[in-house]
Chains A and B, each alone.
Chain A
């Protein structure tokens, strides 16, 4: 019975979000859980963190992903692997119509509105936009965690605040 349970737990999938980490060969996934406090009989949120193996680098910071445990631990830390990216961060598709969405509106509608008012050259064009990641390390410092600056090093680290 116990073995069956452990096997089932190993095979089960977890849904989590990728969060910034300094590790280069693994991604850190946060899985949100609810924990019952038996005294208060109330559920409180509790985060679990998993380090996952991602050789193809298909997962970027912020993505909602499905993870499953590895048949054998890669290292002491890396126990899971990325199975599938469910929702890419900041690039949402409406599941019913299959159209791209920005906040509560379709991107098509936004563009149509701009055309009716008289589209300017300065408008952002989705079709010409490069895929996410072209500003990473240049102006967008979100792939690694930031920290309070604690020493004056010779080389200035942009992730130190």
Chain B
């Protein structure tokens, strides 16, 4: 009876968090999206009135009427013709020779073109499961090819990333599922680090600010000792070098201190401007 009463008055369930950290769960991004797959460029821009890949070679079409040209244009021929042109554009950036169709750079370029076309499809029809699946498979395949290329030819790998506008990120050590507890733990760690670094920085500043007055005192004391020793004709223990050393140190400190004061002033100005 008593226990239930105290429990109802004093809540003791859960842990009271003393650190106020707000955790924002990152939005889910499907892996076929360009920001996940690492494509920094969209599908190549091909206008609707461009002729199909094979028909463009024909002699007759050059002086054909507009209506005929329209029939053999990409908009009329369909998405397959468009895809072929996109593939041609991307592969021509890295092709070794005219008959090159099986080298790694050609394969990666071809896969990239296909991936970008599928990403375009997915934007239009987000429920197209088949396209989503194929896109994911191709992205994985391309990543594998890039991984191997990186291992045996780093220079070419970097050149290819630049040419095709792809981003490459290594695999993480473990693919763990996102959880609230772990995320909060990491954030708390960051928070603790911040506090520690701030305290250390403040202490350092304090010590450095005390350096100047101490050096001045030391200089005066050294000079005084030397003059006393000269007067009393005692063996001189303070050399000119010692005094010079302290002078140099003092000058260095003054330069550093000035820079610090200026930075402080600037910060204050910025804060004042922001508040206004």
Contacts and interface: CB of A to CB of B under 8 A. Distances in A.
Interface stretch (B97-105, B113-121, B129-137, B260-268): B97-105
Interface string B145-184: 0000011111111111110011111111101101000110
Interface of B: 23-26, 36, 40, 92-100, 105, 150-162, 165-173, 175-176, 178, 182-183, 186-187
A102 B165 CA distance: 23
A120 B98 CA distance: 7
B155 A123 contact: no
5 contacts: A90-B150, A139-B166, A141-B170, A150-B187, A151-B23
Given A90-B155, A124-B159, A150-B186, A118 B172 contact: no
Given A122-B93, A141-B167, A150-B182, A90 B172 contact: no
Contact of A150 (B26, B100, B169, B175): B26
A150 B185 CA distance: 10
Contacts of B176: 148
B99 A117 contact: yes
A130 B158 CA distance: 10
Contacts of A124: 94, 96, 105, 155-156, 159-160
Contact of B94 (A20, A114, A122, A126): A122
A120 B158 CA distance: 19
B180 to A, nearest CB: 10
Given A139-B40, A140-B168, A149-B26, A102 B156 contact: yes
Interface string A78-94: 00000000000111100
Contacts of B26: 149-152
A146 B171 contact: yes
Given A91-B155, A150-B26, A150-B186, 4 more contacts: A90-B155, A90-B157, A118-B98, A129-B156
A146 B170 contact: yes
A150 B173 contact: no
Given A139-B162, A148-B176, A132 B171 contact: no
Given A102-B156, A122-B95, A124-B156, A151 B170 contact: no
Contacts of B157: 90, 140
Contacts of B156: 102, 124, 129
Interface string A11-50: 0000000001000000000000000000000000000000
A145 interface: yes
Contacts of B159: 124, 129
Contacts of B170: 20, 141-142, 145-146
Contacts of A90: 150-155, 157
Nearest to B157: A90
